[in-house]
Structure 1
């Protein structure tokens, strides 16, 4: 069986759900389900008990899971040994990113990449959206992920995704009834500020920059997880892309609404690279996977 098919099987077994497995794998649920049915057809029997609240391995599925886990482990050991001989799958990835991508996107990306490239090491650092570019320009990092505006010479964009910042609030909040939210609407609400700097450059929206300067938040915190909890608890609103709230949006714990400012709604998240120096082979491969996963995240966010 193909390695990716086995990975789908293991993830469904771990999650107990095709839908949840597809979200973790950034693959369509229909594709995951199709591969599970294909495995069952090849083996001549069901591997899961289908129940109203999910899927549970039956005796045959448990036996296959043990075999698959052993097979994948042995395969990775063998691959690492071969790669060490060739020197092609080792190296170091250095990435600077805005904080919201640390919630789910980057941990999942590194987890998946390390399954294929177990010898690779990483330096991954969180910055405010406007701090990522200087870090990339300094040469301390090879890859950057943040909102993209006017780029300086020496920096290029390899992928863009429509994931603009908007207003996040608890389910049932009065602003949730609006199709789009104005800054005047926001000024009348308790505000929870993540980090101290604005999420976008002043050149992107003077109106937003002025609002940010005059803002008096009830809480300022540099930890997104804490801000998320306070939002869900109804302690205030905040400004985020959907990136950091995929699970909460699915569950209906929070609501995301766009601004009524066109330039803010046009914001895109990009993967940025230095154009004046070549990346190591393994970093180039990691970027290629990030590009694919970013586009998949964009598609998921568009449905929420």
Structure 2
């Protein structure tokens, strides 16, 4: 019956691990120039041919090859009357050198692409309302122009965006009426006032401008408290000393608009959020300071260095925001 020497097997495994570690250290210690001399000798089939190709004395090539052999502990080239021939270890090292240089060249190309903004990942959050404006078409155009850029985009409320920016989880966020803190940088902003939105048959539909307090007794559909629009409304309520009659609270702009479209009451949104609404809805400008002066901002975390792709995307969003500022005038 055969027996297994447990201690002997463990010693053998330990020895293999140590040998691999020694080879790994030796391989990492080989400088690129010495590896080039070895590869030149491998390709030329002679030390003299390698020296001529590299423009050095034959002794320089010989010393470089010998140093690698001593480091690795294995012969790489066998010398004979007709020149040199690679050993099995030499064949493996030559293949490794070629693959290493190929990977280096590929990395240089990819890093250059990242540096130039041709490649990269942009992590971005946006309020749902902006998507109804020109964001979709601009994003499609940007990605068509930069096909190797990946955009990780998500919709979120203003408070959630600020939290994720602060945690370093986002490169950029496009937020409505955010509370700026010293931890944030505003890259661009646009005036985006809030309007009342209602069915064309609503009694207030013919008004040009109204204070928010005019809607105090009207059923209202509002965004949740984590959204910038809701905070601007609450500030106007506090300043005016009144409260709106909240019948619906939702994070869905589509639901808020449907509430108004059905004639159930009114909702309040920035003009860009209702871009392209159908003929059944109308907007009325509001006169309250927090709503007239509301602004949208493109933000990043202070101190965060944006990659080239994120910088290009930020420039594109900045151009879009300039358009928002022009089209958000009173109807």
TM range (shorter): 0.5 to 0.7
Deviation of 1:259 after TM superposition, in Å, equals: 2.2
* Counterpart Cα distance in 2 of 1:222 and 1:269: 18
Does residue 253 in structure 1 map to residue 284 in structure 2? no
Instruction: Pick closer, same or farther for the CA change 1:218–1:205 going to 2, 3 Å.
Output: closer
The equivalent of 1:264 in structure 2 is 291
Q: Is the 8 A contact 1:205 1:264 kept in 2?
A: no
Q: Secondary structure at the match of 1:111?
A: helix
The equivalent of 1:91 in structure 2 is 120
The equivalent of 1:175 in structure 2 is 204
Instruction: Pick closer, same or farther for the CA change 1:209–1:166 going to 2, 3 Å.
Output: farther
Which one of the candidate residues 179, 183, 203 is aligned to 1:154?
Answer: 183
Number of equivalent positions: 220
Q: Is the 8 A contact 1:93 1:283 kept in 2?
A: yes
Instruction: Pick closer, same or farther for the CA change 1:264–1:242 going to 2, 3 Å.
Output: same
Superposition map of 1:218-237 within 5 A: 218-237=247-266
The TM-score with structure 2 as length reference comes to: 0.59
Q: Is the 8 A contact 2:223 2:251 kept in 1?
A: yes
Deviation of 1:284 after TM superposition, in Å, equals: 0.4
The equivalent of 2:193 in structure 1 is 164
Deviation of 1:150 after TM superposition, in Å, equals: 4.7
- The farther-off stretch of 160-169 and 207-216 is 207-216
* Counterpart Cα distance in 2 of 1:262 and 1:85: 48
Runs of 4+ in 1 over 4 A off after TM superposition: 83-86, 200-205, 209-216
The TM-score with structure 1 as length reference comes to: 0.64
Question: Which structure is larger by alpha-carbon Rg, 1 or 2?
Answer: 2
* Counterpart Cα distance in 2 of 1:275 and 1:220: 33
Q: Is the 8 A contact 1:96 1:136 kept in 2?
A: no
Q: Secondary structure at the match of 1:294?
A: helix
Q: Is the 8 A contact 1:84 1:90 kept in 2?
A: yes
Deviation of 1:242 after TM superposition, in Å, equals: 0.6
The equivalent of 2:313 in structure 1 is 286
1:248-297: CA deviation from partner (whole Å, max 9, x where unpaired): 1xx54322223221232111111112220110100100000100111113
Q: Secondary structure at the match of 2:205?
A: helix
Q: Secondary structure at the match of 1:132?
A: helix
Q: Is the 8 A contact 1:160 1:271 kept in 2?
A: yes
Deviation of 1:169 after TM superposition, in Å, equals: 1.2
Deviation of 1:101 after TM superposition, in Å, equals: 1.2
* Counterpart Cα distance in 2 of 1:203 and 1:245: 17
Q: Secondary structure at the match of 2:137?
A: helix
Superposition map of 1:136-215 within 5 A: 136-148=165-177, 150-197=179-226, 199-200=228-229, 206-209=235-238, 214-215=243-244
* Counterpart Cα distance in 2 of 1:221 and 1:150: 21
Q: Which runs of 5+ in 2 are unaligned?
A: 1-108
Q: Which runs of 5+ in 1 are unaligned?
A: 1-82
Deviation of 1:214 after TM superposition, in Å, equals: 5.0
- Indicate the RMSD between aligned Cα atoms, in angstroms: 2.9
Deviation of 1:303 after TM superposition, in Å, equals: 6.7
Superposition map of 1:117-132 within 5 A: 117-132=146-161
